[in-house]
Amino acid sequence: MEEILKKEISLEKSSRIGLFGGSFNPAHEWHFQVANHASKILALDKVIWLVSPHNPLKDKKTLFSLKDRLASAKEIAKSSSFIITDIEKKLKTQYSIDTISIFQKTFVTKKFVWIMGSDNAAQIKQWKDWKIILDKIAIAIYPRSSHPLSEVEKLLKQYSNKIDETNSKDLIKLKTPCFTFINGPMNDISSSAIRSSGK
């Protein structure tokens, strides 16, 4: 697995890495906004967009092909700080915990942070080995209007230490479990709305 990952992704000159997983069904401006803000606020060298073959919590019937979703991510993610990949297909990982574990095992000298929206953070108890995820990697959460940060904070503070936004740059090197919020403009664009509009 490590050789597959090293062949696909080079992180030689990068030490602070954001992992941004999702279906990207399709990718859109909100995704770019999240990755861009995270890169700046957390002082990341790279943000890796992990275009998932399939999210176990979502309906396969509404899923565009992996090829099309990967293309939509590459179209929207215009930055030298971004790496867009379908590496999870090659690694045959279905769950975030497995992907995170392989990245950390492969790139042992690198520091990682998991980037997610407040909508996904609100559902984290449905994720496989979610407590282990919190213990393994720092979490950075971007707001979505559908899931207020206050609700997410109430949930996560039972299991993880909240790091004040003013110290966000330190998040990636702090002892886990820990999380912070990435303050930025909220955007009501959603992949489901785009699919419904037929655009």
Query: Hey, where are the domains in the chain?
Result: 2-197
Q: What is the pTM of this model?
A: 0.91
Whole-angstrom distance, CA of residue 190 vs CA of residue 170 = 30
Quickly tell me which residue has 């999240």 as its tokens. 34
Determine the pLDDT at residue 184: 73
Bridge partners of 47, per DSSP, are: 18, 82
Residues with Cβ within 8 Å of 166's Cβ and at least 6 positions away in sequence, in order, are none
Q: In the numeric block, which tokens belong to residue 179?
A: 């999380």
For residue 160, pLDDT over 90 is answered with: yes
For residue 196, pLDDT over 60 is answered with: no
Whole-angstrom distance, CA of residue 29 vs CA of residue 76 = 7
Whole-angstrom distance, CA of residue 156 vs CA of residue 114 = 14
Confidence class of residue 9 from pLDDT cuts 50, 70 and 90?
A: very high
Whole-angstrom distance, CA of residue 182 vs CA of residue 167 = 11
Determine the pLDDT at residue 187: 60
Confidence class of residue 183 from pLDDT cuts 50, 70 and 90?
A: confident
Q: Which CATH class is domain 2-197?
A: alpha beta
Confidence class of residue 194 from pLDDT cuts 50, 70 and 90?
A: very low
Average pLDDT of the chain to the nearest whole number: 91
Closest CA relative to residue 85, chosen from 13, 180, 17, 144: 17
Indicate the SS3 state at residue 142.
strand
pLDDT digits (tens, 9 = 90+) for 36-93: 999 999 999 999 999 999 877 777 787 999 999 999 999 999 999 999 999 999 999 9
Whole-angstrom distance, CA of residue 18 vs CA of residue 3 = 20
